[in-house]
Structure 1
């Protein structure tokens, strides 16, 4: 009997099990989850009255390339196409995005004429930043650099401070002055090369490149026809992880074990020995989907180099505060939400206008308005300074006070829920790719039956986690699993 052990029951571990059971490579697949629930950070909470709140990832981009296309194919395979809800590209919730800077909301330029006007907090019209970029003649060398330095060098420090800084806080809960361009946003470096030094020229060229899909996907065609920007599901994003779980456990070769923390992993003679709840399991292959540093703590001392490199991938703690107001307590302008540059408020990352993006998730018994406040991240230490107790009650009060001030809301919310997320988003700092190369080299040289998936390595988005799991399982099984 050939056995595979998958450590971690988040979307990466679930996806690994889903793709692995498509082949006949293993006669037994064990999926180990340390906690009592499956799904990891993907968690939808349904409150009284039917309102649904996302306590982790909240929506998916309707991308037709690469990992986004793969997710759409998976959703179709799972029979979830009719459960999707979406935001159209033309909707205010897709078009209108804001930066809260200098004590007020500022809309990010989103129409042609707005690119020729000076719109706060920027000091020049947007077209002048683009003009500077287009005058660049040659791309820089291959050295990695921070996202902030790249944008500042190509365009202007304004964009670094008021666009890229808050964007990285919203996506990675991280500091653009430390995050690696090569690992976080490789498409920008590729575009600079393609545009002979100009980021804008490269993006224009890249947008015209044809993309050939490996299979037919009716859901993908629907997203193009209806011009989706982002999407979720009628019952929230957890629908996806729940359905993958159901698909996985329906196969007799898969065994799902909750409350089963992995205690150690060692390797000998081409096999792995995994200790779970004091029991030793011999496996032909191990797939780790847990945070890199958590895996490092499970490995034996004879793999010290691998331990060190895994432990050098940091992650940040975040706090998500969701709240509901009675009635239509709406923002000044309907939109997706607003982000804050770190110079405005280090502890508070941004606010999502949930009722504007997915009103389908509002309560059904009476009018209401939902918001999400995101805090901490790379500035978690600052959050502990402004909210010393770090209790849920204190964090909730701080988030409500900030939201009411920034959106000029006088009412108090009828419901507040606080979720603390420990080591929730790995940070790809400058030099991240070099760490990954060293990690891969050790696994290859030592011939370890080990695969690494999850957000610690090559992408933190749900799309990335699912697709990277598929790609790693294809390496194990030598099959095309899409």
Structure 2
């Protein structure tokens, strides 16, 4: 029987781990320690008094795959089903995604027609790249950069424009540094197992975790959802988990409780806080890798080294609201390759997928401009000294240039998300292997979860919490 488990970090990872710990009778007590004054981490929504909702972090969540089903099962269990806002595959936000290249918006090719014709900004039909791809020999290396992988298999043009943009949209990162094996395991495995992306996608590329779909996940398949959000924004998820944990009576929730130092004790760990200590039999750390590394005892040196080696990037998220309907196109948004504009990663047309988050009484358009990432310091300078006014100015200018919007926004919000997305550089999988084997070899009562290790999406992070609890207690949910 596990007596006391301390969960470090009250973002979605730590909250999910605590949620799963509460689902089993084996745990007497859970202590959740969060350094800030709120739970939820990067899941952060502003709900204005007039009914408008703005997201300063993740927005639409994908229902696909085992990890997607898992999150939907949790959301259903938390009683949030009535709040869900689904976006189907047939919705214009799912069908229309744009690239801003050569000072122009281009709709991304989709469907068979899009592959058979030459669709700018591409110089030839993509069907040729796909046909050739089946014949490309598989790589002998155990990892490579995303850019190298896609250049090799699908050609330089696709890698330079589409893949470069995608990595900026998903990881706010540089496709030339990011690991294909860790960032896109599906594609890496497709090549390893089937010798081709195309065949891997068609035939499947290996086992995935078994998560039976609950009623909500079944509904998402039946109605073919591409993504979903919640009526009051995605912050409803951490809020509901927090409420669930409070009602369970087994969880001690502590805000403003930064972990200063962790030291081994006879029964497990002593965790030193600003004011006092906490004892635990086991720690589940949902802290960013660097934050954990600075709290661990020197006896964990090899682990500390690997943790410090996991880098993160800073993203400026600028929410803009405009009066009227101002978009020249309709769709999910547009991404921008690094060759076009290094500082602006992309613009999400929030009003298109989620009109329910608009102010109800009048027509408005909500946009989010994503900026910086791997290029933040180069373009905007040190995140600690950058002025929010300058970021807002850059964002509104980008909307003017790229979308031809002539009016000024009627409302804006600049969120500077420091170190928000871990970067899985080439060889990342080796760091993870080394960490896990050090923990195992030394029998450390420690589990590592969260976005630093095996997936940065909300779904991945929630699932990492579930997996850690299953492994720790030998249970299956």
TM-score of the superposed pair, with normalisation by structure 1: 0.95
2:68 matched to 1:68? yes
State the SS of the aligned residue for 1:244: helix
Q: Which residue of 2 aligns with 1:9?
A: 10
CA drift at 1:213: 5.3
Which of 254, 262, 266 aligns to 1:265? It is 262
Q: CA separation in 2, counterparts of 1:146 and 1:413? A: 39
Shift in Å at residue 281 of structure 1?
1.7
Q: Which structure 2 segments of 5+ residues have no match?
A: none
Deviation of the 1:319 alpha carbon: 0.4
Which residue in the other structure is 1:171 paired with?
170
1:355-434 map, 5 Å: 355-385=351-381, 390-434=386-430
Map 1:158-307 to 2 at 5 A.
158-195=157-194, 197-206=195-204, 214-307=211-304
CA apart distance, 1:78: 1.1
1:48 Cα offset (Å): 4.4
Q: CA deviation at 1:96?
A: 0.4
Alignment of 1:6-85 (within 5 A): 6-63=7-64, 65-85=65-85
Distance 2:384 2:40 in 1: 31
**Which residue in the other structure is 2:441 paired with?**
445
* In structure 1, distance between residues paired with 2:165 and 2:114: 20
Deviations 1:364-384 (A, max 9, x none): 122111000000110011232
Moved over 6 A (4+): 209-212, 386-389
Query: Do the aligned partners of 1:375 and 1:383 also contact (CA within 8 Å) in 2?
Result: no
Unpaired segments ≥5 residues, structure 1: none
1:455–1:465: 8 Å Cα contact kept in structure 2? Answer: yes
Change (3 A) 1:216 1:417: closer
Could you give the per-residue CA deviations for residues 284-318 of structure 1, whole angstroms, max 9, x where no partner exists? 00111010011000011222111111000000011
Post-superposition offset of 1:142: 4.5
Q: SS of the residue aligned with 1:50?
A: coil
Show the counterpart of 1:335: 331
CA 1:381–1:158: 2 relative to 1, 3 Å? same
Match of 1:457 in 2: 453
Distance 1:211 1:152, change over 3 A: closer
Partner of 1:315: 312
Native 8 Å contact 1:320 1:375 kept in 2: yes
Instruction: Quote how far apart the aligned CAs of 1:220 are.
Output: 1.4
Could you tell me which residue of structure 1 aligns to residue 122 of structure 2? 122
For the residue of structure 1 that corresponds to 2:271, the secondary structure is strand
User: How much does 1:193 deviate?
Assistant: 2.9
Structure 1 pair 185–266 and aligned structure 2 pair: CA distance change class (3 A): same
| 1:41 and 1:424 in contact (8 A); partners too | yes
Q: Give the Cα–Cα distance (whole angstroms) in 1 for the partners of residues 188 and 384 of structure 2.
A: 40
Q: Alignment partner of 2:70: what SS?
A: helix
| Total equivalences in the alignment | 476
Residues 387 and 398 of structure 1 are in contact (CA less than 8 Å); yes or no, is this contact kept in structure 2? no
Equivalent residues of 1:387, 1:395 under 8 A apart: no
Is the 2:314–2:383 Cα contact (8 Å) retained in structure 1?
A: no
Q: Distance in 1 between matches of 2:161 and 2:168?
A: 11
For 1:214 and 1:16, locate their aligned partners in 2 and report how far apart those are by CA, in whole Å: 17
Listed one character per residue, the Cα deviations across residues 37-64 of structure 1 (whole Å, up to 9, x for unaligned) are 110000010124211000000110121x
1:466 counterpart residue number: 462
Instruction: Please report the RMSD computed on the Cα atoms of aligned residues, expressed in angstroms.
Output: 1.8
Contact 1:194/1:205, CA 8 A, preserved across alignment: no
Alignment correspondent of 1:144: 143
Deviations 1:259-305 (A, max 9, x none): 11111111134511101123122210011101001100001122211
Q: Deviations over 1:228-261 (max 9, x none)?
A: 1110011111111111111111111101000111
